[in-house]
Amino acid sequence: MNRRDVIARLGPGGVLWLWLGPQQIARGASIVAVRIWPAKDYTRVTIESDAKLQARPFFVADPPRLAVDIEGIDLIPGLQELVSKVRSDDPNISGIRVGQNAPNVVRLVVDLKRPIAPQVFDLAPVAAYQHRLVLDLYPTAPPDPLEELIAQRLRELEALAPAPAAADDSDPLGALIARQDRPREAMAAPPSAQAPAPGPAGPPHPAEPPQMTEARRPSFSAKQRPTEQTDQLIIVALDPGHGGEDPGAIGPGGTKEKDVVLSIALQLRDRINRTRVNGHTMRAFLTRDGDYFVPLHVRVDKARRVQADLFVSIHADAFFTPRPQGGSIYALSDRGATSAAARWIANKENAADLVGGLNVRAKDLEVQRTLLDMSTTAQINDSLRLGSAMLGEMGRVGKLHKPRVEQAGFAVLRAPDIPSVLVETAFISNPDEEQRLRSPRFQAEMADALLRGIVAYFAKNPPLARSRQM
Ligand SMILES: [Zn+2]
């Protein structure tokens, strides 16, 4: 008797299963888990099973819905769980229906809130996962990171002062719009995986035409649009590691890296948004602000899209044994890793895409991106300066694992024009540090330390030197 038979006999539908006959049960796969990761960028639906599922997707435009016929399984409660897992605030999905379409064929219908370019694909078992059937639902009109930043700023200005923000002689909103208006010759490559995707059977995704950027520029009233540039805006891209299907490292107490690093990033964002450097306003931009998977190269693309002045990736370290402890900071290397440990960490962090699960189009874009990425010595030197400033401050909050900035080939630090560091805040595999990582106090102290490091870096290396202003 195999495991599936045992499940069938023990489960509430056991009688029905036995009536269906042994052949059908033997052909079927068992659902291990179902998950939904809603986000503005895209919503992912994952069906994990103990054998590969045969899926046949077809898209219906009006009203927008994605139907997927899954062969080799029978309607079981595991799959029906999807129906109740749809959140009312999901930006893309309005509901899911599951029905037995034919013997051994289950039809999944995903009702959509807006037009979607789906990617349906499967992933072979990796890490803790068995077979995964994945539905990535990208809005055909994807959010633009720079527009998001502007919209966020507008909301803040409205909330802060009923009177126009003109009272402030600086004009951060104008600076944002100016960035939007700047030519982006360096951004000729598709900005991110948020661009419309072809269906699974569609042709390879063409590079996004540059005029798309023009078309998506937000419109502002004459009153809002500044007449001239008055202030420089400093944008710090914060990159909370992992997310969604990729939990990152998991501590002995079950703490997930993706959760604590997002929490620290959100605290750091608030601090950055309240801070001015040399009279300039700072804005934080998050490469992910929720629990969903963002491929490594998309994180880099997003930061470049908003023309970030800095890129700070936030992680928590892990090792096989509980002893190692302390924070560390990494920069990119163009000549191999500075230590075996640094190489090991880089390999581990670079594996995030494997666990998170890249779809076909994300893979295509990654290849294009790799060709484009040529990090410069200047970027690495700036990154080392930034890392040193931050490391000094981190040492005042907790132990340091390494006394100096280490280097290795981290995929997420490859923006050729943005000083970029990866912060391992502490060892989540160390029980004491896992507790600290969970504590709001440590998170706040870490955010304070990272902010002080950023401010110290800008004090010595004003981004003005990079001729930002119009
Ligand atoms: Zn990590």
**Span 419-428, average pLDDT:** 96
Residue 415 has pLDDT above 80, yes or no: yes
Q: What share of the chain is helix, strand, coil (3-state, %, to 5)?
A: 40, 25, 40
Amino acid identity of residue 461, one-letter, is N
Contact in structure between 283 and 235 (CB atoms under 8 Å): yes
CATH code 3.30.565.10 for 3-139: no
Residue 441 Cα to ligand 1 midpoint, Å, equals 21
pTM: 0.79
Q: How far is the CA of 306 from the centre of ligand 1 (A)?
A: 23
What pLDDT was estimated at residue 17? 34
Distance of CA 171 from the midpoint of ligand 1 (Å): 36
- Compute the distance between CA of residue 63 and CA of residue 208 in angstroms, rounded to an integer: 26
Structure confidence at residue 220 as a pLDDT band (50, 70, 90): very low
| Cα 257 to ligand 1 centroid, rounded to whole Å | 7
In sign, the C-alpha dihedral spanning 218, 369, 293, 406 is negative
Cα 334 to Cα 113, 329, 338, 400, 463: the distances in Å are: 45, 16, 10, 24, 23
Residue 112: which H helix or E strand, with range?
A: strand 105-112
438 CA distance to ligand 1 middle (Å): 16
Q: What gap in Å lies between CA 352 and CA 374, rounded to an integer?
A: 21
Domain boundary assignment for the chain: 3-139, 145-466
Rounded distance from Cα 408 to ligand 1 centre (Å): 14
Find where tokens 């023990």 sit: 10
- Pick the more confident residue, 292 or 211: 292
Report CA(346)–ligand 1 centroid distance (Å).
Answer: 9
Cα atoms in the 13 Å half-sphere on the side-chain side of 261: 34
Q: Residue 151: its pLDDT value, please?
A: 78
Q: Is the pLDDT of residue 458 over 90?
A: yes
Least confident of 20-29, 118-127, 280-289, 358-367: 20-29
22 Cα: distance to centroid of ligand 1 (angstroms):
45
Which residues neighbour ligand 1 (ion) by CB within 5 Å?
241, 248, 315
CA of 281 to the centre of ligand 1 (A): 29
Reply yes or no on domain 145-466 having CATH 3.40.630.40: yes
Per-residue pLDDT band at 252 (split at 50, 70, 90)? very high
User: Nearest Cα to 433, choosing from 328, 329, 321, 317?
Assistant: 317
CA of 102 to the centre of ligand 1 (A): 44
Residue 180's pLDDT is what? Answer: 61
Q: For the segment 34-60, what is each residue's pLDDT rounded down to a tens digit?
A: 999 999 999 999 999 999 999 999 999
How much distance in Å is there from the Cα of 237 to the middle of ligand 1? 17
Nearest to 390 by CA among 463, 456, 317: 456
How far is ligand 1, taken at its centre, from the CA of residue 439, in Å? 19
Rounded mean pLDDT, 370-391: 83
Provide the mean pLDDT of the chain: 80
pLDDT over threshold 80, residue 212 = no
